[in-house]
Amino acid sequence: MLSRSVKLSLRFILPLAILLCLFAYIVVPLMDKLTLRWSLRDLDNRSQLLATTLQVPLREDVLLNDSAHIKRLFDGAIEDERLFALGFCDASGKLLYKTYTYPQSLGCWNAPADGTARKSLVQLPRGPVHVAETPIMDAGSELGRLILVHDMSFIERRSAETTKYVLGFFALLAAAIAFITLLVSHLSWRGWLASLNDVLRGQLIPRATAKPDPDAPPPPPEMEPLIGELRSLLEEYHQERQHSDGGSYTANGSDWAPEKLKALLQQDLAGDQVLVVSNREPYIHEKAADGTVKVRRPASGLVTAVEAVMRACSGTWIAHGAGSADRETVDKNDHVPVPPKNPSYTLRRVWLTEEEEKGYYYGFANEGLWPLCHIAHVRPVFRSSDWEEYVKVNRRFADAVIKEARTDNPVVLVQDYHFALLPRMVREALPKATIITFWHIPWPNSESFGICPWREEILEGMLGSTILGFHTPFHRKNFLDTVDRYLETRIEPEASTISYGNELTQVEDYPISIAWPDYPDTVPVDVCRTEIRQILGVPQDHLLAFGVDRLDYTKGILERFQAVDRMLEMHPTMVGKFSFVQIAAPSRSDLEEYMNFEQRVRKLADKINDRYGKDGYLPIILKIEHHDQNELQRYFRASEVCMVTSLHDGMNLVAKEFIAARDDEHGALVLSQFTGAARELHEALIINPYHIEQGAEALYRGLTMPSVEQVERMRSMRDRVRRFNVYRWAGHMLLDAARLRKREKVMQKIRAHSRTNLRRVG
Highest mean pLDDT among 2-6, 248-252, 576-580, 649-653: 576-580
Q: Coil, strand or helix: which one is 335?
A: strand
Report pLDDT digits (tens) over 621-641.
Answer: 999 988 888 889 999 999 999
- Say what percent of the chain tops pLDDT 70: 84
Q: Is the pLDDT of residue 406 over 70?
A: yes
User: Average pLDDT, stretch 388-392?
Assistant: 97
Question: Read out DSSP for 336-356?
Answer: EEESSSS--EEEEEE---HHH
Name the amino acid, one letter, at 554. T
Residues 309-318 pLDDT 10s: 788 778 899 9
Query: Which range is least confidently modeled, 537-546, 558-567, 609-618?
Result: 609-618
CA dihedral for 13, 15, 19, 21, sign (positive or negative) = positive
CA 371 to chain centre: 19
Among candidates 74, 72, 95, which has minimal Cα distance to 85?
Answer: 74
pLDDT band at 758 (very low <50, low <70, confident <90, very high): low
pLDDT higher than threshold 70 for residue 96? yes
How far is CA 646 from each of CA 518, 688, 694, rounded to the nearest angstrom? 28, 9, 14
Q: What pLDDT, in 10s, does the model give residues 440-489?
A: 999 999 999 999 999 999 999 999 999 999 999 999 999 999 999 999 99
What is the rounded CA–CA span in Å between residue 35 and residue 155? Answer: 8
Would you put residue 137 in left (φ > 0), alpha (ψ -120 to 50) or beta? beta
Residue 194 pLDDT > 60, yes or no?
A: no
732 pLDDT band (50/70/90 cuts)?
confident
Q: How far, in Å, are 159, 250, 268, 471 from residue 312 at the CA level?
A: 72, 14, 16, 22
Tell me, what's the pLDDT at 417? 94
Give me the DSSP letters along 364-413: IIIIIIHHHHS-SS------HHHHHHHHHHHHHHHHHHHHH-SSSS-EEE
714/371 Cα distance (integer angstroms): 33
- With a cut of 60, say whether residue 193 has pLDDT above it: no
- Predicted local distance difference test score (pLDDT) of residue 691: 96
Reported as a pLDDT band with limits 50, 70 and 90, residue 666 is very high
| pLDDT at residue 253, rounded to an integer | 38
Domains of the chain: 2-157 (3.30.450.20), 260-487 (3.40.50.2000), 525-724 (3.40.50.2000)
Q: What pLDDT digit, counting tens, does each position of 509-524 carry?
A: 999 888 887 555 678 9
Residue 128: Cβ within 10 Å count: 15
Q: From the CB of residue 86, how many other CB atoms can be counted at a distance below 10 Å? A: 24
Q: Of the candidates 632, 670, 662, 665, which has an alpha carbon nearest to the alpha carbon of residue 532?
A: 632
CA distance 392 to 403: 17
**Residue 454 DSSP one-character state:** T
DSSP string, 232-251: HHHHHHHHHHHHHTTSS--T
Choice between 407 and 32, residue whose per-residue pLDDT is larger:
407
pLDDT of 148 strictly over 90: no
Q: CB of 298 within 8 A of CB of 508?
A: no
pLDDT digits (tens, 9 = 90+) for 596-628: 999 999 999 999 999 998 888 999 999 998 888
- List CB contacts of 616: < 8 A, sequence separation 6 or more: 537
Q: How open is the CA angle 60-62-64, to the nearest 5 degrees?
A: 70
Greatest mean pLDDT range, 147-151, 645-649, 753-757: 645-649
Please determine, for residue 43, whether its predicted confidence score (pLDDT) is greater than 50.
yes
Name the average pLDDT for the chain.
83
